Structure 1
Amino acid sequence: MKVNGPNHTNVNPYQQQIQKKQTSHKSTTRQEDQLQISNKAKEMQAKDSRQAYVKEIQQQIETGEYKVNVKETARKILNFWK
């Protein structure tokens, strides 16, 4: 059941929001996305030991020699959820 008061008009309650969006889109310029990498992250990327480790694992996976230590993996999962 819908009850309308005596002063009912067809007014969109969101009309002001729509108008604000329309005027703000016209007046502002679009900003491009930016990516900022912290100095710590840059240092981590620069470490040759990490890159060598990743390449070693990639080679093991490609040759089929990579073996997952299931006990260590399970232990880390349980520690994460504790």
Structure 2
Amino acid sequence: MKINGPNHSNLNPYRKNIQKQQDMPKSHTQSDKLEISNQAKQLQENNKSLEARQKRVEDLKNQVQSGNYHVDAQKSAKSIIKFWTNN
């Protein structure tokens, strides 16, 4: 018994799509772009505050490593209370 009808061809329909895609000329491929705003550029240029912050962080690291850094518990508690009562 023959299952395929007289008009049935044994071609894979996906093969046609693959051939069409290969035959098509390749268009210009778009690449990723990164744009930095003028404000961000100014922030990068004005890194004086960044340098001061890095120096402060380095000083704090040295104090912690040497054991000379002590936290004022009263001041910390007041800051925490102030934060949670104002928000």
- TM-score of Structure 1 vs Structure 2, range by shorter chain: 0.3 to 0.5
TM-score, normalised on structure 1? 0.45
Higher-Rg member (1/2): 2
